[in-house]
Amino acid sequence: MSDSPTTTYVNQQSRRYFLNRLATGLGTLGLASLLNEELFAADPNARPRNELGGLTSLPHYPARASRVIYLFQSGGPAQMDLYDYKPGLRAKFGEDVPRSVYPDERKTTMTSAQLKFPVAPSIFNFKQHGESGTWLSEQLPRLGEVADDLCVVRSMYTEAINHDPAATLMQTGSIIPGRPSIGSWLGYGLGSVSQDLPAFVAMTSRGTGKPGGQPLYDRLWGSGFLPSRYQGVKFRNQGDPVLDIYNPKGVSQKTRRLMLDRLARLNQLKSIEVGDPEIETRIAQYELAYRMQMSIPDLLDLSDEPQHVLDMYGKNVTKPGTYAFNCLIARRLAERGVRFVQTFHQGWDHHNNLPGAMRGQCRDTDQPSAALIKDLKQRGMFDDTILVWGGEFGRTIYSQGALRADRYGRDHHPSCFSMWLAGGGIQGGLTYGSTDDYSVNVAQDGVHVHDVHATILHLLGIDHKRLTYKYQGRDFRLTDVHGKVVTPILA
């Protein structure tokens, strides 16, 4: 009978092999210690952890919320067509936006060569909703039903004017790729409530208003320099939601368990030999994947959902890869203990034919977004769940290309845009901040991307200045060296 792989591995460790590795290893360590005096210092990121895998030092203070559902709208929704009501602009239809309001140097190369920059007022009517009187576009009737639960922030701003750096900043706190995403920071700091699902899940959907849309890179839910166990797990929008999670034909669950046990023993030996923490991460991820073989089918089986709940989300709720389906799955993930759920809905980059594209995007998102709020409330989960809806920047008030009464486009605009928050610790029925008469600049109570991140962490019981990770000699944090909690929007 042949030896097991573990026995074979151990037998290969001969005296000559051991001495050879020892000499080489000592020489390498000696050279490295001369080059880096901190090599033998204690791991600066080795901190005590609790039973959830989170830092024992967290939360810094009592949390108002325990989870986040972030409904990211990829492409940059036009604020003046959805939330930032500007009725006075209808009288300025076709007039050039004054250069004093919108200087040439702030225009992108996609529109800077235009001879005219005509004001394009929103084609859509607006209406006040709820006791709060929140102004919303006619394209958001279902969201109007929950207006008193929303905090609409009209005074968002960012520095990034192109999609990739702007989306990267919104997800990671930096326009430079490679930093950990917000969900990864939360998994690292707070750990995971669920033993059978990841702490961080990302899902994508394609808009019907503008099929295609800006590309979504895996680094948007990546862990950056944090251990890879904290990266988001992407659920695909077609086919099996998670690749390679089901056993191949002919492989039983017992065989899979035996294989993982043997593989874990080999990985543990390698971990002892080389001391690479990523090996421990791989062992943990294999175990999680094994448990997900049972939890994922249960998660995606909607047969236990009452019909009135399915109807609330709309006709596409049972169709994988749609925004409605992802919203319902986000709720099911949240109630199963997933800490951070991120949905990405493509199709908001409306450089032309905005009215038609906007109608399609709102058909995709309005009803499911409102249903998610109602669903969380009826399950008693709304008060400890933070909901965030928004894109990476806004759009210009001037038309990109020819302006017609029923057709116009809008270019990228970072200086102001709108988003809304709701749920755990957020004051509902509030419209916060304002822009100038042209929706070009923040006029009052500006909120930067870093401020939103600081506020989300605050509601989860985290001081954003104290959640850090040492990398390449520097203490990094989600908000970098910026950010302040937006206390006026807190309940």
Residue 41 has pLDDT above 70, yes or no: no
> What's the pLDDT tens digit per position in 302-322?
999 999 999 999 999 999 999
Decide if pLDDT at 487 tops 70: yes
Nearest 5°: the CA angle 403, 407, 411 is 65
Q: How many residues are listed for the chain in this entry?
A: 491
The domain spans of the chain are 5-35, 67-242+313-489
Residue 355 pLDDT > 60, yes or no? yes
Q: How far apart are CA 444 and CA 436, in angstroms?
A: 9
Per-residue exposure over 314-333, b if at least 16 CB sit within 10 Å of its own CB, e if not: bebbeebbbbbbbbbbbbbb
The answer to whether residue 54 scores a pLDDT higher than 70 is: yes
Could you tell me which of 120, 132, 77, 107 has the C-alpha nearest to residue 346? 77
Q: Mean pLDDT, to the nearest integer, of 401-425?
A: 96
Answer for the pair 463, 429: CB distance below 8 angstroms, yes or no: no
Residue 204's closest CA among 222, 221, 224? 221
Contact criterion met (CB below 8 Å) for 451 and 481: no
318 in Cβ contact with 265 (< 8 Å):
no
At residue 210, the 3 state secondary structure works out as coil
User: What's the CA gap between 298 and 296, in Å, rounded?
Assistant: 5
In the predicted structure, residue 39 carries a pLDDT above the cut 50 = no
Listed in sequence order, the DSSP H helices in 80-177 are: 141-144, 163-172
pLDDT at residue 378 greater than cutoff 60: yes
For 232-281, the pLDDT digits (tens) are: 999 988 888 877 777 788 888 888 788 878 887 888 888 787 777 778 77
pTM (2 d.p.): 0.89
pLDDT above 50: residue 361: yes
Start-to-end CA distance of the chain, whole Å, equals: 69
Which residues make Cβ contacts (< 8 Å) with residue 289, sequence separation at least 6?
A: 242, 245
Q: What is the mean pLDDT of residues 9-34?
A: 53
Q: What is the CATH number of domain 67-242+313-489?
A: 3.40.720.10
Confidence band (pLDDT; 50, 70, 90) for 40?
very low
Cα separation, 335 vs 375, in Å, equals 11
- The residue with greater pLDDT, 248 or 383, is 383
- What are the helix (H) ranges across 157-252? 163-172, 182-190
pLDDT in tens, 88-128: 999 999 999 999 999 888 889 999 999 999 999 999 999 99
> Which is higher by pLDDT, 444 or 3?
444
Q: What is the three-class DSSP state of 360?
A: helix
Mapped onto helix, strand or coil, the DSSP state of residue 154 is strand
Closest CA to 361 of 74, 159, 42: 74
Greater model confidence, 236 or 136: 136
In sequence order, which residues have a C-beta less than 8 Å from that of residue 312 and are 6 or more positions away?
Answer: 367, 371, 374, 375
Cα(465)–Cα(482) distance, integer angstroms? 9
For 418, what's the count of Cα atoms within 13 Å in the CB-facing half-sphere?
Answer: 25
Bridging pattern class, strands 417-423 and 385-390? antiparallel
CA distance 486 to 69: 19
Residue 259, pLDDT score? 81
* pLDDT at residue 19, as a whole number: 53
Predicted pLDDT of residue 4: 54
* Rounded-to-5 percentages of helix, strand, coil across the chain: 35, 15, 45
Cis preceding linkage at 103, omega within 30 = no
DSSP string of 320-336? Answer: TTSHHHHHHHHHHHHHT
3-class secondary-structure state, position 259: helix
- Give CA–CA dist 223/183, Å, rounded: 8
Residue 280: exposed, middle, or buried by beta-carbon count in 10 A (0-12, 13-18, 19+)? middle
Cα 74 to chain center, whole Å?
Answer: 11
Cβ atoms of 183 and 221 within 8 Å: the answer is yes
The residue-averaged pLDDT of 44-62 equals 90
**pLDDT for the residue 24:** 53
Alpha helix ranges (H) inside 232-306? 253-274, 277-300
Mean pLDDT of 290-296: 80
Q: Is 224 left (phi over 0), alpha (psi -120 to 50) or beta?
A: left
Tracing tokens 């600049």 back to the chain, one arrives at: 441
